[in-house]
Every structure is written in C-alpha cells, then in structure tokens.
Chain A
C-alpha cells in the first residue's frame, strides 16, 4: 500500500513534463495508466541513453526512469474507437494528466469543460509550455525554449567567465525545465485532489512551464517588479566572491565563506596561514574587494590537499564545503547509499536497472518501486479486456485498424 493507493490516474503525456508528474504519483502508490501511441510510443523511448549506445525502444534510460510503477496501454486517440476508450478510462479515474497542445486537446474533445460534464469529480492537470490562455498558449516549446523565455537562462552563466557580456545566455543541463514543470504539476494536482475531498468537485489545473521556471528566479523577478531594477548580468555583484571552486590534488571542492565565522573557521582549516591575517582580508568588505587575491592563496594551499580530508576538516568546523562530485561519484556517494536513495528493479529486455529514487522518506507507506516501466502496450489486455470488457477478438480488430 502506498500513500496514494486510493487514486486512479490516467497519464496521457509525452516525454518528460507529463510523465514525470505521473511518476511522482505512481511512485507514491497511485495507480497510473500511461497511454502511448501505438507503434512508436512515447518519444522518450527513442531518446536514450541506451546500453552500449544501441537505440532500442524498450531500453531507453530516460523512459525507464520516468515510467516506473505505471501500467502501459497503447491507443490511437485520434481514432473514434481510441478516443472513446480514452474517455471511458478517464471517466473511471480520479486524475487525468496531460501535456498536449491546448488546440489538439480541444479538437479531440478532451478539454476540461467537455470531460468534466461527464465526470464532475475529475481533476485534470494540463502541463503546457505557456498555459491554456494568453497570446503564447499555442506556441510550441521545449526545455531549451522554456529556459530562455523565463529569463532563467539569461542569469547564466553566473560565474567562471571573464566577460559575462560576451557569453550567450546558458540553460541548465539535463532537461531541468521539463522536470520542474512535472514537479510543479504534481503538487498542484495533489492540492486539487485534496480540495475535492471536501466538495466532490474536480478542478482543472492549468500549469505553465514558463511560469514554473519563472518562479525559480523569483528573487530577480521580485527585484524587477518591486524595486524597478533589472538585474543585469554583472560579474562581481553575484556570489562569485567569498566562494571558491577549488582544486585539490584528487578532486574539486566548493566552499562558501560569506560570514565572518565561516571565514575564521576556514582559515583554521587551512592551518592559520600568515597571509590570512592581513588587513586585506580582515572583514567582509575587504575580503569581497580582494577576493581574487584570496582565491590565489587558497588555491595554492588546496592543490596539495586531499579532498576527503579537506572536506571533513571543514565540516567539522561547520564551514559549508563539499566535494564537487562527478555524476559517477554522486552515484557512489556513501550518503546516498546510506539513505538507500537509488532504487533497483529487474526489467525485461534490459535486466537490472538502477536509477534515482525519491528525495523524501515517508515514515509509513514508504516510497517503492512496485513494477518497472511498462513495455509498449504491456497492459492492453489487462486494462481494455479486464476493466473495459473488450474481448480478445475486439483487440485483434483494434490492432488491425491501428487503434492499439
């Protein structure tokens, strides 16, 4: 039994934002039926990464991660039969998650107004690049576009370059925008479900990926709207002072010394070198002004240090200092292992798969992987025959027609 085991979800989504939202609910025990197009399936199946770099629609790392704990069916929702079946499934569910274009959704008759007539208790979460309204609502977008249109990319790179004005805006890695949209969608969905408990009335959750990202830069947005200031891309006014990305002999670390106490303790870690007593570094203002010089001295010391010892020493003195882990180092992190962060599951076609789990632990109804991501159409019979009452012969007809 999971925390959300009472909930039935239909996930009608592609790639990341919709499916990640569905995953978050599925991993907490909701029953999520993922609907994919026959033949090609979700685009994430073709995205990779793949074992040995050999593309295979049942072996895409992105797909396998995003779709744990879900049942999978195929449906050509553009066909009359396919649309009927999807509507039937939605009518039997609590939640519909979708990330299709508003225009397509309306043309298919799957807009909230239509669906809620037959199913007033439906919570429908629509995740789109720009929301259901406004001049951009029909625009196409992707992770890259979202990063830029929200202004988040404009704030990057925030350090590590000589002349920031020369650098183009930079997006974040790993399709974070899509994931953030999915995450926001999940929170909003659960709020709507909670509200429904009181009144029995469902809701339409209209989530804009653009807005989800803009929320992340709210300090800067706030500055613009509240103070009338525009945070231009300026080097030096940003926290690239009083912090250091440094190189030890066996790795990199990042340290933050933006209080007097941090700085004092850090100096102790370094063994109280003479140069640190200089008036150039006697208080914060001085340190900010002369940070370049401090960096040189720290780097000179750090290059002979062992990363592990350095970090332990700093943490012992409560200085914010951590190793800069590569992805590989992160997956081998003892901290993550101690928390059983990574999950493992056996999956047909691939064997044993290991992927990130959840960043939270529930004292009861723990997060767990009940089943791996479904093969394409794996649960067609279970769902269409078992729940909707179609016969196997009906399924053969539907397959011949291209509905499933």
Chain B
C-alpha cells in the first residue's frame, strides 16, 4: 500500500524515513472519509498518520470548502483546487478519490468500497448521506459490522439537527462564546481559530478506535452519532455544573482569575508582545518576587497573600507591567520559569516556528507536494516510542481513484473508462 503513494518523507529527518518503513500500528484499517472543512478531516489525519488508509471521497461538482477557489489559501494563488494549502494541511497523508455521489453508479462504488473497509467518518450536512442511502443504516446493509461516526454540529437527532451550521457557530451554541471575553465589552468574543473542530476531530478518531477494538472482540459494529456542540460542552464542567448544581450563570471575566494573582497576559517590549504569568500560592509569589530582584513594592503586606493580591489586583497588575514592559516576552518567560514561576510568552506564528521546544520535538515537518512543492506542515505529535506515526504528503483531487477502483475494487480498465465517460468519477 505504501508503494501506491508517491511519498516524500520529512526531508530533514532520515530517522523518520527509516521508521516509516516499519509497520505502522493502524495498518490494515481502512476508513472512508465523507468529510469537509476541518473537524472530519482532522479525525482522519490523526488516524492515517499511524497507518490507517483514509480515503477521502471528493467531487469536483461540490468541492470541499477549503478547495473552493474563492476560499483557497493563499488568496492570491490562481484558483486551482489542488493548490489549496489549507486543504493540504488538514488532509495530508490521505488518499483522494473523486466520485459523484449523486450518480447511482457512484454510490454503488462506495458501497463496494465499504465491503472492504472498516469505518467511515461523516461530517457532511445531516441530510446528505442519508439522502444518498449512504448513512450508517444504509451502509450496515452492506457490511453488518461497519463502524461509522457522524459528527454534525448538533448530531443526527433533535429539533435543530438539520440546521445549517459552520464551525464558527458551534462555540456560540455550546455556551462557550458567552463566557469567553472581557466583561466590559458588550459583545462576547469567543476563541479564535477553530478549537471545537479539533476537539470534535480527535473525539471522532477516538470513537473509531474504541469501536474497532469493540468490533474485534465482539464482531459488532457501531454508529456513533456525535454532536460537536455537545463535545465542546463536555469540557465545560465548571460552567455547567455551576449552573445545574448551584444555579449560577457564569459571566465573562477577561484575563482575570478569581483564584490567582498575578494572572493574565502582561505587555512586554515591542508591539503585540505579551507574556502570560500565573502565581497561585505563597511559594510561587516568593519565587516571583525573587525573580524580580525583590523590589520594595513586593514586600507590601497587602501583596503577601493571595486574597490580598486579588483585592489589590489593579495595582498589582500595574506593577507587574512596569517590569514586563522593559523585557521581551521570551525573556520574561525564561526568567520566571527558571525561578519556578508559571509563565509563558504568548507566541505568535513566527515565535512558534522558532520555538526551541517545538523544534526539539520535531513538531513541524517539511513535505513535498506535486503542485505546491515543499512546504511546512504540522507533524505527528502523539509520540509512541515503539510504533511512531509518519506525516505523509497531501493528495491531489482524485489522485487515487485509479488505485482504489483498480487495485482495491478490482475493476477492469474498461469498467473504469465507462465510469469516466458517464461522469461518475468527477
């Protein structure tokens, strides 16, 4: 199977190349990916890094969000769905086949592929696969122990589940946006990026692994109907239990903590440079004062206790800012961490790219791409000592159609040509 891909492993790490030649732990698991955007693809990426064969079902007739010319990144590239770096990032390592599911023959192909597969990931709209007869209940007819995870925003049941939702709608629905931001700004902010997509993706991958384990022992498949919004709520216990048990509605509290001071992001030298600092108890306060050289203000009795520092937080923050403003964010972090105080520079992308710890861990890897050339990608960060994963290159749209139809499904050249002419393989 590995030979079927033109691969170019991490150019700078021959050890990884050698390792890649040994068997990967998820070899033999085949997953069909009915995915779009980030959440579904992220699930597949985590699994294909460890050897699962993840086949993304695409079509030129309805491109993945991140392949669409107008939404392709970078913005000034010529509109070419194979030159979308975003798609490449989320889907590196997988195979891609192009099949029009609107065509009956296309759906038949999928069903035949299901016979040879273990699981599917679905984050299309709730009605899509159902409409094609390719939802779990349809696919189970084909393979009784099939495993499927559907991961729509609100799941597959409930009065709102067919609503149209994008990644940025999920945190607001989960109640997370409401509690994220500054109390004196009327509009809540929420997070940047798409954390809920990644949370959903890793959960989906986890569910598939659990279901495979279960199936191997019992012979039973599984349908996991996951709601991404609920998935976000599962890590909001402090907010929800305060509500269900204490009847309290939590409000936004900005960069303050009710339990620690100093706490927050303190401005450092330069534009948009911040260092996060957190002092939780007497020991860390003593270390913090020591790191600052024990200036007289730190000996004021009102700052000696956590309660005192919380009561005098504004003044405290002002003092801390006076110190951080004259230092770089990395310097503040190093000085404080060396003294045993929790501190971290708020890293921007360039900082992360240059982060010595991430470099040490080999977090970013260089991978080649037939059309885009060599670029940097996130590597494999789950480090299994005996069975490490490998980051492999992104596929061109439909690059593996021939392989899947020919080698896996055993179709003849003539049959494949017929499907091409019938515009099934677009």
Contacts and interface: CB of A to CB of B under 8 A. Distances in A.
Interface of A: 79-81, 84, 393-394, 396-398, 400-403
Interface of B: 258-260, 280-282, 304-307, 310
Contacts of A401: 259, 280-282, 306
Nearest to A394: B307
B341 to A, nearest CB: 15
B282 A79 contact: yes
Contact of B259 (A79, A84, A400): A400
A389 to B, nearest CB: 12
Given A396-B259, A401-B259, A84 B281 contact: no
B307 A397 contact: yes
Nearest to B261: A397
A397 B280 CA distance: 10
B304 A80 contact: yes
Q: List the 5 closest pairs (A to B, CB-CB), nearest first.
A: A400-B259, A81-B305, A80-B282, A401-B281, A79-B282
Given A79-B281, A79-B282, A393 B258 contact: yes
Contacts of B305: 80-81, 84
Q: Is the interface of B mostly helix, strand, loop or mixed?
A: loop
A79 B310 CA distance: 16
Nearest to A81: B305
8 contacts: A393-B258, A394-B307, A396-B258, A396-B259, A397-B258, A398-B306, A400-B260, A401-B259
Nearest to A85: B305
B281 A398 contact: no
Nearest to A399: B259
B303 to A, nearest CB: 10
Nearest to B311: A394
Contacts of B310: 397
Contact of A81 (B259, B280, B306): B306
Contacts of A80: 282, 304-305
Contacts of B280: 400-401
A81 B281 CA distance: 10
Contacts of A396: 258-259
Given A397-B306, A397-B307, 6 more contacts: A79-B281, A80-B282, A397-B310, A400-B260, A400-B280, A403-B306
B246 to A, nearest CB: 11
B245 to A, nearest CB: 14
A400 B259 CA distance: 7
A403 B306 CA distance: 10
A397 B282 contact: no
A397 B259 contact: yes
B307 A398 contact: yes
A173 B34 CA distance: 76
A403 B310 CA distance: 15
Contacts of B259: 396-397, 400-401
A81 to B, nearest CB: 4
Contacts of A393: 258
